[in-house]
Each structure stands twice: as C-alpha cells, then as structure tokens.
Structure 1
Amino acid sequence: MPPKLAPSPAAGLFTDDTHTTRCAWCQATPLYRHYHDSEWGFPVDDERRLFEKICLEGFQAGLSWLTILNKRESFRQGFANFDAEQVARFGEVEVKRLLADAGIVRHAGKIASTINNARRVIDLRREFGSLGAYVWKLEPLAADRPEKVTLDTYKATPLSPASTALSKDLKKRGWTFVGPTTMHAFLQAMGLVNDHLEGCASREKALAARKAFKPPA
C-alpha cells in the first residue's frame, strides 16, 4: 500500500521537507525563509529598523527583495546602521564612498534619496515624536485587509488605503522613492499589514504578535 501523501499546498504556498508551509515567495534560500518566518509581517516600532525598512524598500525598486536581503549587512555598514541622525549629515565624501561600495546597490539616485529621507525623518520626529508614531497612526487604514488572505484576494487587492495614504503624505513632506507599491511593501515588512497567506505557518504567529503589540503613541 503506498504511503499517504501530504495534501498539496494552496496556490501561493509551498511545503518544505520539514512539512512547514510558507508563502511561496520565500522558497529560494534559507535566508529568505528566515526573513519570512521571523520578520515579515511582525510589528516593528524601533526607529532604526523602521528607517532601514523604508530605505531598503526604496533600494529594491526594480530589483528582487532577495538581492537586497543578501546585501543588508553591507547596507547597514555603509549607512551607519541606519541611524537617521548620522545619515542626515552625509555629504559628498560619504556619497563617493557609497558609490564605490560593491557590497550595496550603487545607484546615485537611491543613495541621495536615503540621505534626503534621513533628514525628513528628523522633521517627522519634531512633529510626531517618532517615526513609529507617525507610521502607526495609519493602523485603521490597514485594517481593510481580508481576514483570510489567499493568492487570489492578494492579487485582487495588491495595495491598501494605508499604503496609498502613506505614499501621498510622505511625498508631500519631501520624501523620495516612496511610491504606493514601495510603501505597501514597507507596511507588510513592518507588520502593519499582514499578507501572509492563509495556510502559511507564520500567519497566526504574526497575528498573535500584532495582538500583543502596543503601537507607539
């Protein structure tokens, strides 16, 4: 009698040799799966991590997230561990250094954008107290996501009102590389939007972490 086979995962999911089911986009490497399991969709309020996420999502434009993730440590070294106060002081010397750094994505426009956005972070802190307080005030707009996210529902609603509103307001404040698609990826990454698909082992963990999370005031 042939052994029982595990049911095939739903569209958009995959099951590895440990019988763990995950979102299919993280299938490529163990590093990708670790990011999916421990970071993506889990709430964040740490100022450095939030700024890093916005910057790296901007660098990803036109590239894969895996490319950025593989270079993340080099980005951290190059951009003062994404301390906005330090990056805001970067000048011509730092820009030349970064353009010569093969460990990062050497895109002059994106490097200049990161420095500009660091200065805009400081402006936001004066008004809202922290970058986290500013971003998490969009939480009500992010609550429109379906209770059960499947590949079909995700394709039908690839953005959220929160990502559109965030992009529009940041652009008004002088930020760059913050289009709606980039901002939706940021909101997914920081846990304000949970787009782990139904059936993914990390979906309920992310929901539980979100429930226990107290957004910054």
Structure 2
Amino acid sequence: MSWYCDVAPGHPHHGPYHDQEYGFPLTDERALFERLCLEIFQAGLSWLIVLKKRPSMVAAFDGFDVDTVAAYGEAEMERLLADAGIIRNRRKLEAIVENARRLQALRAREGSFAAWIERHHPLTKNDWVKLFRATFVFMGGEVVGEFLMSIGYLPGSHREDCPVQARVRAAAPPYLRVDPAFYR
C-alpha cells in the first residue's frame, strides 16, 4: 500500500497539506465544501495539480462560500471556464454549483453539513458512498472515500507511525474514535 505520508515530507505542496489538514476533523461549512470540491476536481487528476491550483480555485469560487456558489449562473460558468488558473472541466464545475444548491437544501433540513455527516457516522465506506450519491452529484467511491478520510471520518489518512497521526487522533472528537475493525 502506498501512503501519502511517504510522499509529503518536505514537499512544498504535499507537505503542508499532509501535516496541517489531511485527516484532521472539520466542521466549518465553507471548509467542508471546499474539501469536497477539491476531491471532485481531483477525480482523474493528480492531487498535486489540485494543490497547486487550490489558491486560484478558492479565489475563483468566492472562497467556496456555499450560498455564493449556489447562486452562480451561466455568466459565472463562462467565467470559470475561461479561468486558466483552475481546473476547467464543465462537468466538475456544474457539479460544484449543483452541490452548493443541494448543500443549501441539506442545511435547511439538517442544520449543517457537519451535523448531517456526524449523524450518519459511523458507516462503512460503501454505505457512505451510497449516502453521498443519493445526496450530491459527481460522487464516486474515490471522491467520497478521500473526502471522508481527509476530514477524519474514515481511517487511513496516515500510517500508524506517522508523527501527524498522533495529532489527528488528539484532535478527533469522541464520536470519531471508532474501532478500525468496524470498517473491515
């Protein structure tokens, strides 16, 4: 098995993400939406491309503010498609706008994206994928799995001997401390 922990140390893009973000719990809606969008952008591409383009994508998507992105129309779509600083795949861009709209509806029903995720925890990866596919668009197994691993809901973000793993565990609230055997 290949580990992100083996690629990241000292790398100018992978290193900071691995050491400060990957696997750490998130509850902020904007941060969760950004992370979900980044995973959509990554589908079929390398994570390095996504990390390099991340600052431009944050700017292009108004900081990944859910309500702002949900209001995007054709003019914003044309602006995004013309922006060489971002990943310009129409299907991915349309999915992000649609998911912002779906996230608004989810927020109205569930209170928040974070609360919705927490209420369904723990689930196996397959069950998470089914849930995300029923709720959002462009939700393949890799997108859902990496999103949930990146926010601490699925195990495997770090090797047991990775120094960051101890910090991830310490940051995890009690509801995220599930016996790894559950996922097997």
* 125-134 vs 25-34, which moves further: 25-34
Give the corresponding residue for 2:57: 75
2:36 to 54, 58, 79: 54
Give the corresponding residue for 1:165: 127
SS of residue matched to 1:177: coil
1:176 to 126, 134, 137: 137
Query: 1-side partners of 2:65 and 2:89: how far apart?
Result: 20
Q: Percent identity?
A: 40
Give the corresponding residue for 1:35: 17
Query: 2-side partners of 1:12 and 1:86: how far apart?
Result: 38
- Count the aligned residue pairs: 175
2:150 to 171, 177, 189: 189
Please say if 1:200 is aligned against 2:162: yes
Query: 1-side partners of 2:22 and 2:68: how far apart?
Result: 26
Query: 1-side partners of 2:59 and 2:12: how far apart?
Result: 23
Query: 2-side partners of 1:178 and 1:102: how far apart?
Result: 25
Give the corresponding residue for 1:86: 68
| Structure 1 residue 30 displacement after superposition | 2.3
Query: 1-side partners of 2:20 and 2:99: how far apart?
Result: 26
Query: 2-side partners of 1:102 and 1:189: how far apart?
Result: 27
Q: Contact 1:194/1:206 (CA < 8 Å) preserved in 2?
A: no
Unaligned runs of 5+ in 1: 1-10, 14-21, 142-160
Using structure 2 for the length normalisation, give the TM-score.
Answer: 0.88
Give the corresponding residue for 1:151: none
* Structure-to-structure mapping, 1:1-16, within 5 angstroms: 12=2
Query: 2-side partners of 1:213 and 1:45: how far apart?
Result: 13
The superposition leaves residues 152-183 of structure 1 with CA deviations (integer Å, 9 ceiling, x where unpaired) of xxxxxxxxx1x32232123223x211112211
Using structure 1 for the length normalisation, give the TM-score.
Answer: 0.75
| Structure 1 residue 212 displacement after superposition | 6.9
Query: 2-side partners of 1:164 and 1:54: how far apart?
Result: 17
* Structure-to-structure mapping, 1:91-106, within 5 angstroms: 91-106=73-88
SS of residue matched to 1:71: helix
| Structure 1 residue 59 displacement after superposition | 0.8
Give the corresponding residue for 1:113: 95
Equivalent position amino acid for 2:163 in 1: A
Q: Contact 2:43/2:142 (CA < 8 Å) preserved in 1?
A: no
Query: 2-side partners of 1:102 and 1:83: how far apart?
Result: 21
Let me know the Cα RMSD of the aligned residues: 1.9
| Structure 1 residue 48 displacement after superposition | 0.1
- Summarize the Cα distance change of 1:116–1:197 in structure 2 as closer, same or farther, 3 Å threshold: same
Q: Contact 1:23/1:200 (CA < 8 Å) preserved in 2?
A: yes
More helix by percentage = 2
Give the corresponding residue for 2:110: 128
Q: Contact 1:171/1:178 (CA < 8 Å) preserved in 2?
A: yes
Unaligned runs of 5+ in 2: 177-184
Query: 2-side partners of 1:213 and 1:167: how far apart?
Result: 20
SS of residue matched to 1:140: coil
Query: 2-side partners of 1:132 and 1:116: how far apart?
Result: 18
